[in-house]
Chain A
């Protein structure tokens, strides 16, 4: 119940703020995020995002998946499945930006 509530709140909060903030990510920060995605997320999801201990994050694998749920998964993590929460390290905007990049496919 609490989860759904939180989900709602966040869904609402970034429907307002995502667009404006995402555009504010500097190219330097974007590069840092992509680096982190490849090398740190990559330690479980694979450098090429084809999966490892964690599931694949390729455009195919993410196709049709809901942005809010994906973003929540990254933000809060899935303790049962070894996914750590990235709250505190990544902002909501950064997470949404990263998921968009993943859905497009990360240049290798």
Chain B
């Protein structure tokens, strides 16, 4: 009898293992958004391969993703208001809800229990239970003018809080969800004209909103919120004609290295360098065109920059110590996004119009491989699961 049970258990184990493939961790995994196909490709960075696709995710233009704290589940925020939970280990769609009309990004709470989505329509933030995707809180972004505002720059900060900006109203709000049933909102009015994106420093202390409607950025010290936001880099465009912006820069991937922050300047062919103690400008680095993402290699020694239409075929690498561009690469038209492997030895690059993702060595700049991916845009690795604000 006992022998039989052992035998059955042995067979069962074998069958189950056969079903799910061999046991693996998720630390070297990630996903690439196929923006036009409503699909993602799950990838792994050790052998640099595609593990499989997950489809049926709706309009993924401008889609982004965050991860559960165990790295197994990706939450995808689609343009059509879809919130999808995907199991990247089995490459299956676990659940999908349409939570708004037009959304732009999301964040996951410090403890991983809440997923927040920022919406353009209806302007506001909705918060969901990360297990069930049930709506637990709805925060309409009604600005001082009484109108619903588009919400941008939503990030998580320590203490079950989310911070975001109101594009139309020019406000920054902090939503404290430590009591989910009773969200506490702190509002800062008149923070600047048309914040277009926001970010939080990796330590969760400073929230910064980029301003489209004026020069400069709004900075909020989250350890001392009673002081309110203040403007920084107000002079960076003075006297110069602002160029038309064909693609809004993103601040999410900003780079902090050696006490300096590297930010894409909106409407200028420059990366701005800011001292993160004084928040004074420390320099400007001329680059190829208008930057979109400026992303720091995890060791902080390099910053990689991509560019807006129509010069989006190029990538440039800035050496942080010398504050100079040390390498220009031309992967091809539509370089949309880049993502470093967790410790930064490689960078994965989406080349939208070439229908491929390219992988480069970050020291030698050698191209290591190419993967076929349909109209790739955002690349998100599971290492984001353990970083504040990503």
13 additional A-B pairs beyond A39-B375, A53-B120, beta carbons within 8 Å, are A35-B353, A39-B35, A42-B61, A46-B59, A46-B61, A47-B61, A48-B79, A50-B59, A50-B102, A51-B102, A52-B79, A52-B104, A84-B245
A42 to B80, CA, bound (A): 13
The 8 A-B pairs of least Cβ separation, nearest first, read A47-B61, A84-B244, A40-B309, A84-B246, A43-B247, A85-B244, A42-B61, A48-B59
The residue that A48 contacts in the complex, of B80, B213, B246, B310, with Cβ under 8 A, is B80
A residues 1-59 in Cβ contact with B at 8 Å: 35, 38-40, 42-44, 46-48, 50-53
Grouping DSSP codes into helix (H, G, I), strand (E, B) and loop, the A interface class, with mixed when no group exceeds half, is: loop
Query: Once the chains bind, are B244 and A39 in contact (CB under 8 Å)?
Result: no
- Chain B residues lying within 8 Å of A42, measured Cβ to Cβ, are 61
A-B contact count (CB 8 A): 67
B121 close to chain A: CB less than 8 A: yes
B180 close to chain A: CB less than 8 A: no
Query: Once the chains bind, are B244 and A43 in contact (CB under 8 Å)?
Result: no
- Chain B residues lying within 8 Å of A79, measured Cβ to Cβ, are 244
Closest approach, in angstroms, between the C-beta of A79 and any C-beta of chain B?
A: 8
- Chain B residues lying within 8 Å of A47, measured Cβ to Cβ, are 35-36, 59-62, 79
Give B contacts to A, CB under 8 Å.
35-36, 59-62, 79-80, 102, 104, 120-121, 150, 152, 167, 194, 196, 212-213, 244-248, 309-310, 334, 352-353, 375
Q: Which residue of chain B has its CB nearest to the CB of A43?
A: B247
The residue that B248 contacts in the complex, of A35, A39, A53, A85, with Cβ under 8 A, is A53
- Chain B residues lying within 8 Å of A43, measured Cβ to Cβ, are 61-62, 247-248, 309
A38 to B334, CA, bound (A): 13
- Chain B residues lying within 8 Å of A80, measured Cβ to Cβ, are 213
A40 to B102, CA, bound (A): 18
Q: Which residue of chain B has its CB nearest to the CB of A51?
A: B102
A85 to B353, CA, bound (A): 23
- Chain A residues lying within 8 Å of B375, measured Cβ to Cβ, are 39
- Chain B residues lying within 8 Å of A38, measured Cβ to Cβ, are 36
Query: Once the chains bind, are A44 and B248 in contact (CB under 8 Å)?
Result: yes
A40 to B312, CA, bound (A): 10
- Chain B residues lying within 8 Å of A82, measured Cβ to Cβ, are 194, 196, 212, 245, 248
Query: Once the chains bind, are A89 and B310 in contact (CB under 8 Å)?
Result: yes
- Chain B residues lying within 8 Å of A53, measured Cβ to Cβ, are 104, 120, 150, 152, 167, 196, 248
